[in-house]
Amino acid sequence: MSKMTTRRVTLLSAVVADGASDVINTELYNDLTFQTTAASISSGGTIKIEGSLDGTNYVTYKEYTVVGNGTWAFAIIDERLTYVRAVLSSRSDGTYTVKLVCGV
């Protein structure tokens, strides 16, 4: 029986300004689960999860508008993205945290 390999990364940690996270190499993982938590929101912002094959050119894999406090999650199953990052844009207030769990 093989041991499952898991990696946990915080992409954005209670950020209060627009910008992109560090780039994370995920080429060894088939399954990616993202969790976003927003706090102190009255107007919100936009979170994008972006993927890349070369680490330079990114496409939006998932985008959602945050309009209130809460926690949301989504998974990418059985797909290989070489690089991922989280991007906060159009922020008007609040703090945003995005976490990633990678698995084989």
Domain 6-103: which topology?
Answer: Jelly Rolls (2.60.120)
| Interval 76-97: pLDDT, tens | 998 888 999 999 999 999 999 9
What is the mean predicted confidence (pLDDT) over 36-54? 94
Structure tokens at 88: 């906060």
Note if the pTM is more than 0.85.
yes
Burial 46-75 (b: 16+ CB within 10 A, else e): ebbbbbbeeeeebeebeeeebeeeeeeeee
Burial class (CB in 10 A: 0-12, 13-18, 19+), 23: middle
pLDDT category of residue 1 using cuts at 50, 70 and 90: very low
The DSSP output letter for 23 is -
